[in-house]
Amino acid sequence: MKLKMMKLCSIFFLLTGAAAAPSVIYPFTSTCAVQGSTVTLPCSFTPLTFIQDDGGRKVQLQVVRVVWCKNHEICQGETPSVYDSKSPQKPGFKYLGDMKSNCTLQISDVQKQHNSTFRFRMEVNFTKGHFTNKTGVNLTVIESTQMRINSSQTEAALPRGHTLKLHCTSLCTFHQLKVKWYRNAHALPESGPALQLSSLTPEDSGNYTCALSTNEKTKSLPYRLKVEEQKGSSAGQSLFLILGVVFGLILILIFPLIVFIIIKRKRAAEDSKGEQGVTEQKISEVEPSGDGNDVQYASVQFNHRRQNRRVEEEAVIYSSVVRG
Ligand SMILES: *[C@@H]1O[C@H](CO)[C@@H](O)[C@H](O)[C@H]1NC(C)=O
Ligand SMILES: *[C@@H]1O[C@H](CO)[C@@H](O)[C@H](O)[C@H]1NC(C)=O
Ligand SMILES: *[C@@H]1O[C@H](CO)[C@@H](O)[C@H](O)[C@H]1NC(C)=O
Ligand SMILES: *[C@@H]1O[C@H](CO)[C@@H](O)[C@H](O)[C@H]1NC(C)=O
Ligand SMILES: *[C@@H]1O[C@H](CO)[C@@H](O)[C@H](O)[C@H]1NC(C)=O
């Protein structure tokens, strides 16, 4: 019970303790913009929610004013501002945040005079609760820049199927980089700072360039990519190897077949010699008897013999029958 109370107390203390320190966070404390472009300064804040007044009473706080100014340490009072929730909007500056936690500022058509440090200030309904984070965001404005392409591959000629990643960078360190990519001066659909080309085909070959989407003048020098068909020495060697194996197999299969055929032919030739002898013998056997049945028997015998000699045999039979 006592422990639980202590825990509750410490949680309460932590909560009030956290609330006692307002904060403003600039995720990027320095950013870069090319003249004429639009830049966003991301920002988030946590205001005080309670404060103890001089009489020791707890006062609930509310954000009553948010301000962005440039080149001023704390931005208080009548300091010239670029945005003030209590004043009319200034051209070129747009507050994308709110009165609770988001203090993002957008600057369009960036000019040389914007090359400075921007700071955000929040004011609540109690003077002690006002807060400015002096760190600020340094905005560097450059007249123009030439983007550069960095490649994940050192070789500009790659075989088909490989993957290539191109990065569009600049001397200026940009965040939220929006770029346009081109191949042979034709715009590609990709818009991120990195262009990934996977399963390369020869159609991917060409001259690649990139530029900030807000400024064509920043176009990079071309990166020349050549995708080669899978030929090369190793491919040629493997083709030879395959051909060799196939040829070898054919030889191994065909050689015995040829030998077999030759042997068969030889035997067949020997057989047919013997056959002819038999035929002559049979015919000579048939001849003297002159019996029709014998002739029929002979022809049946002949029909079992080689087909290609049939015509000849039939002629013999015919003649023998006629003679018979
Ligand atoms: C001021 O801003 C910097 C940069 O975002 C941050 O690191 C720091 O914590 C902030 N300080 C306060 C008190 O908000
Ligand atoms: C603040 O607002 C901007 C613009 O609406 C938005 O892009 C950004 O994500 C917001 N930031 C946070 C921390 O919610
Ligand atoms: C403004 O530009 C100058 C160079 O012209 C540079 O040295 C300086 O750091 C820039 N200021 C800020 C706050 O970025
Ligand atoms: C911003 O610029 C000021 C002066 O121009 C410099 O003192 C400070 O270190 C810079 N901050 C960052 C984060 O570059
Ligand atoms: C790419 O650029 C080179 C010179 O840098 C040029 O010779 C070649 O024709 C270009 N290729 C295409 C497809 O435009």
Contact by Cβ (8 Å): 102, 120: no
Domain count, the chain: 3
Ligand 5 shell residues, CB under 6 Å: 184, 206-207, 222, 224
Each residue's pLDDT tens digit, 220-261: 999 999 999 875 545 555 555 656 666 667 566 766 665 666
Within-domain flag for 238: no
Cα–Cα distance measured from residue 244 to residue 238, given in angstroms and rounded to the nearest whole number: 10
170's tokens:
């600049």
Tell me the CA distances in angstroms from 233 to 18, 108, 156, one per residue in order: 69, 56, 18
- Indicate whether 87 belongs to any domain: yes
Q: Is the pLDDT of residue 130 over 90?
A: yes
Q: Among candidates 1, 45, 50, which has minimal Cα distance to 23?
A: 45
Same domain for 131 and 57? Answer: yes
Ligand 1: lining residues by beta carbon, under 6 Å: 23-26, 29, 133, 135
Domain extent for 158? 148-228
pLDDT in tens, 44-89: 999 988 888 888 888 889 999 999 999 999 998 888 999 999 999 9
What pLDDT digit, counting tens, does each position of 18-32 carry? 456 899 999 999 888
For the entire predicted model, the pTM comes to 0.58
The CATH number linked to 192 is: 2.60.40.10
pLDDT per position as a tens digit, 257-291: 656 666 677 777 776 655 454 444 444 444 444 44
Distance CA 194, CA 324 (A): 103
Whether residue 176 is predicted with pLDDT greater than 90 in this model: the reply is no
For ligand 3, say whether the CB of 116 is within 6 Å of any of its atoms. Answer: yes
**CA 29 to ligand 4 center in whole angstroms:** 8
